[in-house]
Amino acid sequence: DDRSIWYIGLHQFRTLVVDARGLAPKVVEAVLALVQEDRRGTVIASELLAAQVRMVRELGLYDSAFVPQLQAASSEFYRSEAAAYHEADGALWVERAHSRLDDEANRCRRFFAPGTERMLLDIVGQELVAKHADALLASCFDRLLEESQHELLSKLFRLYKRVSKVDLVAGAITLHIRT
């Protein structure tokens, strides 16, 4: 059967080329580099990234080598992004965080295995929202309420719901009503 020939050939390629020559880390680094470029907004060859991820999956490197590196690179990328947001207005932070979550979800659906999306969106939420939840609310919540910026308030609520921090929003609403 042609399918079994494919898998035998794939196994031989992995054993003789990828494993024996230590290429797995280099393959993973190349794929991660394209992912990072895409995150930075650089126009990339989408077909190339999709093919590289498919190759990593077919070689059996996805869960063992690629995903742990993707997790680490994603955490670092979004941690750095959050540090840059500290200079931004809270409303702009909400917009950026919301946009980053959408971008990452789209990237996951286009390129990665189905189980990867939840993990990556959790990382984005933790790094951009959860770790800065108190500061973010303090920087913009009252102003958003006073200016009746319902769309931004809705986005802020959805962000906090995603990272299980709705109790902070409830507390801020209570405080706003009392003052």
Nearest residue to 104 (alpha-carbon basis) of 81, 135, 87, 133? 81
By CB atoms closer than 10 A (0-12, 13-18, 19+), residue 29 is exposed
User: Per residue in 30-52, pLDDT tens?
Assistant: 999 999 999 999 999 999 999 99
Q: For 82-104, write each residue's pLDDT tens digit.
A: 988 877 788 889 999 999 999 99
- Check whether 170 has a pLDDT greater than 80: yes
Instruction: For residue 127, give the nearest of 165, 81, 169 by alpha carbon.
Output: 81
pLDDT digits (tens, 9 = 90+) for 141-156: 888 888 999 999 999 9
Distance of CA 13 to the CA centre of its chain: 31
In Å, how far are 16, 82, 140, 179 from 59, measured between CA atoms? Answer: 12, 34, 48, 60
The whole-number pLDDT of residue 69 equals: 96
59-73, 114-128, 161-175, range with the lowest pLDDT: 161-175
Task: Please list, in sequence order, all residues whose beta carbon lies within 8 angstroms of the beta carbon of residue 22, skipping any fewer than 6 positions away.
Answer: none
